[in-house]
Chain A
Amino acid sequence: MKANHRPPFPWLLLRFWTLRILLAWCSIAFWIFLFQIVVCGIVHDNEKVKVFIQYIDMLPSFIKTFIGGEAVHVGNIAGLIAIGYQEPFVLLLYMLYAVGVPTALLAGEVQRGTMELILSRETTKTQIYICAGLITIIGMFALVAIMFLGTVIATHLYDFDQDVPLYSFFMLAINGGILASTVGGIALLAAACFRRSMAVSITVAYLILNYFAEIVAEWWPRMKWLEPINIFHYVNNVTIFKESAWPVWDMTVLITILVISTVAGGVIWSRRDLPL
């Protein structure tokens, strides 16, 4: 028996899948970018800030807590701009990509019946998984870059009466990107294990549980123990802006979850019989 040689990396599949999700990525990137411009456009003007805060006060208090809590007040420009990074609409857009893309690429192709065609060519299952992983994680960081770019452009478009700590925003963006990639890693794991609808349901259920765990832990002191077990806890804008230091611990925890879930998904994907 001859030894099995490893086929070359399927760059063409990577390109094909990238083109398939490009429109969705561009739409999400556009809204995230626009949202940063709009938020900066509102918060650079004190009068508008007052109206904006009145609007935020009208929202349920758990949303206010989630988008910055006490940091959201007139005069704290960084806290107000950071709303654009944590607002539920922006988080929803990120999660849409993080959940939708890996499940569409892996479980979706299996369900459509096209995975059998891809696998019948010179492409290993591991390479296919890596393609899906790269598109998820690189796409996520590209979205973060667009979000940060939105903030940078907005700070040049509008005058602020305080310095905008762009470096802190950069750290927050990177931290947020790792969080979103972690969600992508969990979605990859789910897509490697289940059919598409099940994979999406499990990942969304996981996110909703984490979201509410974060809110409950902030609200209710007796439930503080929930904080370390939910992934949203590991993006803390207050610490980043106050200390202006990289949140090394938070990032390490998120990267660990990302690596474990992605590798576990890869192992399961390559060993499992796909329901072709």
Chain B
Amino acid sequence: MKAIEIETLTKRYGQARGVEDLSFDVEEGEIFGYLGPNGSGKTTTIRCMMGLLRPTSGQCCILGERIVHGKATQHRRIGYLPGDFRTWPGLTPRKLLRLLARLGQWRGRPGLASRRHLADGRDQGQDALATDRRQEELAERLDLSLDRKMRTLSKGNRQKVGIVYAFQHQPDVLILDEPTIGLDPLIRQNVLDLIRETTQTGATVLLSSHDLSEVAAVCGRAAVLREGRLVELAPISKIVQQGQRRIKVWFLEGSQVPELPADVLPGVRVIQQNSNTLHVAYQGTVDALLKWLAQFPIDRVTTPETSLEDAFIHYYRKEGNHES
């Protein structure tokens, strides 16, 4: 079953572009990357998925239900982390998280709510208690104090509160807009682990980011947006392979490093050249390059991993710049 379905989604802000004719699906239990530079339309898509924006045309469905603008469709089953997580500065994370967890439930307190049952048969009181327990666990895992006022927290700690908020009610679908922004590498890794663990229990994650390495670390597939349009929808391994690959050649001591023949090796460019090393980037197959190198006395060859930045730039470069 598809957890998220986006069908020919277009959102325009007057004359300004938001997103144009987007279509993609996310399978249940999948971690799906949503990549794009700033202003490419990632947040617009996510806000349409959350029913916060009204699409100009097209539709979004989550867990089989069509999203209706402003109607909180499936919100009980969605964990959402906005790109810019802002809160009431006078609240502590504990109060904030409890408020948000219980918003829209029949009663505010678990004890009072126990007589009410959720549509799927779960007891709402039990649900609230489970949320509280999960909140504590997550805070401990992320090394977050829940009892300091939000205004006293650093940007990274506020982001941790946002992560607890998204995960605390054990949602079936997680929509995370730049979740690791402002986090230190250790906590960042923790969050990526948390995302992986969540999908092991059957949840689906849409991870929006402009950091390809982060998406490559956890996602199976990804969509790449550029200027509001989908430019790639593929397994992450394919996306990572895009762009230029690299090869570094050490020539034997005393031999001359040869000049690259541009006519024989189109698409190969020199990154760095020393007295006995040549570091080049190439596109396509390495066959022609290796055949040319075979004429020279070579000590050794290494193939550094494809740079994620290169792959990223490959997609983000505008058409006009692409040729150059």
Contact = CB atoms under 8 A, between A and B. Distances in A.
Interface in A1-50: 1-2, 4-5, 7-8, 10-13, 15-16
Given A273-B53, A276-B47, A124 B72 contact: yes
B65 A12 contact: no
A114 interface: yes
Interface of A: 1-2, 4-5, 7-8, 10-13, 15-16, 112-114, 116-126, 270-271, 273-274, 276
Contacts of A5: 119
Interface stretch (B105-113, B214-222, B268-276, B293-301): B105-113
Contacts, number: 93
A10 B103 contact: yes
B303 interface: no
B266 interface: no
Given A119-B50, A124-B72, A276-B52, A12 B105 contact: yes
Given A5-B119, A123-B103, A116 B70 contact: no
Contacts of B66: 1, 4
B80 to A, nearest CB: 4
Nearest to A129: B70
Contacts of A113: 82, 84, 86
Top 3 A-B residue pairs of the complex, sorted by shortest distance between their CB atoms: A122-B104, A113-B86, A125-B70
A127 to B, nearest CB: 8
Given A4-B65, A122-B75, A126-B70, A12 B102 contact: yes
Interface string B20-34: 000000000000000
B138 interface: no
Contacts of B104: 7-8, 10, 12, 121-123
B286 interface: no
Interface SS, A side: loop
Given A10-B104, A12-B104, A121-B72, 10 more contacts: A2-B64, A4-B66, A5-B119, A10-B103, A117-B82, A119-B72, A122-B76, A123-B103, A271-B69, A273-B54
Interface in B95-121: 99-100, 102-108, 119
A50 B321 CA distance: 86
19 contacts: A1-B66, A7-B75, A7-B76, A8-B104, A8-B106, A12-B102, A13-B103, A16-B99, A112-B86, A114-B88, A117-B85, A117-B100, A119-B51, A120-B50, A120-B75, A120-B82, A122-B103, A271-B54, A274-B52
A21 to B, nearest CB: 13
Contacts of A271: 54, 69-70
Given A1-B64, A12-B103, A125-B70, A120 B86 contact: no
Contact of A2 (B47, B65, B106): B65
B256 interface: no
A1 B65 contact: yes
B86 A7 contact: no
A104 to B, nearest CB: 12
